[in-house]
Amino acid sequence: MRTKQETQHFSHHHALVPLEGEELNCYGCKTKIIEPFHGCISCDYFLHESCLKTPRFLRHPSHPQHSLTLIPTPTYSSRSFLCDACGCEGNSFSLSCAECDFDLDLYCAALPTALELREKHEHVVTLAFESPHSIICCDICGKNINPKSWIYYCESCDFGVHLVCAAQHKRESTKKNEKEKQKDTNVESSQRDETEEEKEDRERSGNEKQNKKAKAKDKNSKKKNGKEKKGKAAKVENFQRDDEPEEETAEDHGKSVSQEYQKMLMRDMENQLILQAMDNANDYIGYGSTKYYYY
């Protein structure tokens, strides 16, 4: 019998049960899972909630001409794929266009379209799916960026950084902010002295700060191991949960791209629900016979 919280995913033939507490690797994106998740203990098969909920078909702004299909195991003879965003080899979930041999890992597919790298650059950097020059050096680590890889870029300043460098910087500053915000919640806001940065922060985005404060409070009451998000997983989740209010401060073009993408995700989510219902009704068909669907 299936309990209410159990769920079925087309990539696995057993029901996935809610789990938490252990640090395990997600089968979908091969990064650590920290927050509560679903999995099959007998098969050591675990998925982030965000990976579990990735639509089976979606349109991604990096490949507007075709919809991408979620493939649990690469169908190439090498049993691996190269992510067109970061150039890394992957052997877990991918979002693929079979017609174009275009593949994204789940991490890159969920990257936010605009980011603030406050301590590194004064402007919002936007996700560029093509390198603006044939040779470009990362303005964070100083190393060359593969011209075929995506970058975070500020056009007016010709400032560009690796995806990983941006993510790492973002992670570090998010941690710092969370610490500050936890401090905030312990002090009466009317009495505390604001640092310059906090003041600026508040003026720029009062709403955002309040949201985050509420979140920080929420997190305080949760278990310690759930408090700190790390690694790629944190990044992916940040995009889906936390980055939305942040993008309100982004430049308009970044915002509209993002809204467009959100709309696309919503549309695909609807299709996904229908397909999921169909999957649940049918028996598992196995990895070997992964099918490509188009609509």
Q: Which two tokens stand for residue 195?
A: 């640092």
CA–CA distance, 217 with 72 (Å, rounded to integer): 37
- 3-class DSSP state for residue 125? strand
**Least Å from the CB of residue 103 to Zn ion:** 9
- 3-class DSSP state for residue 255? helix
Contact (CB, 8 A) for 47 and 106: no
Nearer to Zn ion, 144 or 195 (CB): 144
Q: Is 66 in the site for Zn ion (CB under 5 A)?
A: yes
CA–CA distance, 183 with 198 (Å, rounded to integer): 12
Residues 253-272 as x/- pattern, contact with Zn ion by CB under 5 A? --------------------
Contact (CB, 8 A) for 118 and 110: no
* Stretch near Zn ion under the rule CB under 5 A, chosen from 80-88, 182-190, 238-246, 272-280: 80-88
Phi-psi bin for 101: left (phi > 0), alpha (psi -120 to 50), beta? left
Residues 164-183 interacting with Zn ion (rule: CB under 5 A): 165
Q: Is 51 in the site for Zn ion (CB under 5 A)?
A: yes
Nearer to Zn ion, 115 or 165 (CB): 165
Residues 123-142 as x/- pattern, contact with Zn ion by CB under 5 A? x--------------x-xx-
Nearer to Zn ion, 164 or 275 (CB): 164
CA–CA distance, 139 with 68 (Å, rounded to integer): 31
Residues 82-121 as x/- pattern, contact with Zn ion by CB under 5 A? -x-xx----------x-xx----x--x-------------
How many residues of this chain bind Zn ion (CB under 5 A)?
Answer: 25
- Burial class, 21, CB count within 10 angstroms (exposed 0-12 / middle 13-18 / buried 19+): exposed
**Least Å from the CB of residue 36 to Zn ion:** 13
Q: Is 151 in the site for Zn ion (CB under 5 A)?
A: no
Q: Is 74 in the site for Zn ion (CB under 5 A)?
A: no
**Least Å from the CB of residue 228 to Zn ion:** 17
Nearest to 33 by CA among 232, 172, 243: 232
**Least Å from the CB of residue 205 to Zn ion:** 19
CA–CA distance, 98 with 169 (Å, rounded to integer): 34
Residues 7-36 as x/- pattern, contact with Zn ion by CB under 5 A? -------x-----------x-xx-------
Residue type, 270: E
Q: Is 229 in the site for Zn ion (CB under 5 A)?
A: no
The vertex-236 CA angle with 149 and 176, nearest 5°, equals 100
Q: Which of 9, 11, 39, 40 binds Zn ion (CB under 5 A)?
A: 40
How far from chain centre, in Å, is Cα 105? 10
- Cα torsion at 70, 84, 86, 246 (round to 10°)? -60
Query: What are the residues binding Zn ion (CB under 5 A)?
Result: 14, 26, 28-29, 40, 43, 48, 51, 66, 83, 85-86, 97, 99-100, 105, 108, 123, 138, 140-141, 154, 157, 162, 165
